[in-house]
Amino acid sequence: MKYFFIIIFCLISINSHAAWFMLFSIHSGDLYLETNSIERNNNKILFTQLVNYKKKQPNGMLSLKVLSEINCKNLSIRELKYMAFSKNMGLGEKFYEKEGKQSWKYPKKGSSSFFVNEILCDRISF
């Protein structure tokens, strides 16, 4: 009977993790998109992205989650919230949280940010 509870506990734990999709990797870290966080409301898309650093940052951070919003009318983006974690993949202690600036950024056409915004706006239905 105790093995049954151990198996159930493991299955519940596996299903509770976020579904991260790696967008790209550079020498300092990897950028992920949380696929189950994507929400569309008319011409706006909300989603969570995560920067997973390969080396601990000076402030002790190994990962940074960012709640972002895209305006699909012009592919602009703004960051609504930042959360810093002591371990990779948004794990460990959340030691910093801050609301983002409400100003919109306009990524250059051809940049990775522009490409991600374009794909999300084209592929995520209403």
Q: In the CATH scheme, what is the homologous superfamily, with its name and number, of domain 19-123?
A: Surface-adhesin protein E (2.40.128.710)
What ranges do the domains of the chain cover?
19-123
Quick one: pLDDT at residue 4?
Answer: 31
pLDDT at 101: 85
- Give CA torsion, residues 103, 108, 113, 117, to 10 deg: 80
Q: Are 38 and 124 in contact (CB under 8 A)?
A: yes
Cβ–Cβ under 8 Å, residues 40 and 69: no
44-53, strands of its sheet edge to edge: 20-26, 29-41, 44-53, 63-71, 76-85, 94-99
Note the pLDDT of residue 112: 87
Amino acid (one-letter) located at 103 = S
Rg (CA), the chain: 17
The pLDDT tens digits along the chain (126 residues) read 443 333 333 443 444 457 999 999 999 999 999 999 999 999 999 999 999 999 999 999 999 999 999 999 999 999 999 999 999 999 999 999 999 988 999 999 999 899 999 999 999 886
The confidence score (pLDDT) of residue 18 equals 75
> What's the confidence (pLDDT) of residue 17?
59
Inter-residue contact 94 to 84 (CB < 8 Å): yes
What SS3 state is found at 123?
helix
Write out the two tokens for 74. Answer: 């012009």
